[in-house]
Amino acid sequence: MNDPNCLFCKIVDGKIPAKIVHDDALCVAFEDLNPQAPVHVLVVPRKHVATTNDLLPEDEPMVGHLVTVAAEIAKARGVDGSGYRTALNCNRGAGQSVFHLHLHLLGGRSFAWPPG
């Protein structure tokens, strides 16, 4: 199921270290290496899916799970009340650089809208 050349598959499989903050049957969450906010966690499915364009109907429970895990982490970090942003960047024009689906959880500061 996983891609041996994929950075996030390697993190999910424990072959590359990361600061893991959550781990379950569907996803792994870890600290972003280059955080853009005081809270910047990536919630990553165990299944290799390159982009949201590649999602299948059967992936809907997994994608929903990424969001609820992000909300749990936001609550644990105390940013649920002040606010946080979740983002799924799709393809390079939207800023995607790692082609294994990942939900960004960003919190602990203000965020502009519309995003840059």
Binding site for ligand 5GP (CB under 6 A): 7, 18, 30-34, 42, 89, 95-98
Nearer Cβ to ligand 5GP (26/88) = 88
Q: Which of 85, 100, 102, 104 binds Zn ion (CB under 5 A)?
A: 100
Length of the chain: 116
State the binding string over 31-70 for Zn ion (x if CB under 5 A, else -). -----------------x----------------------
The whole-angstrom separation of Cα 13 and Cα 89 is 22
Residue 112 CA, chain-centre distance (Å), reads 20
- If one asks whether residue 9 binds Zn ion (CB under 5 A), the answer comes out as yes
Question: Tokens 């960047």 appear where?
Answer: 89
Whether 102 is a known active-site residue: answer yes
Backbone angles phi, psi at 69, to 5 degrees: -65, -40
**Amino acid identity of 41?**
V
Residues that are catalytic? 102
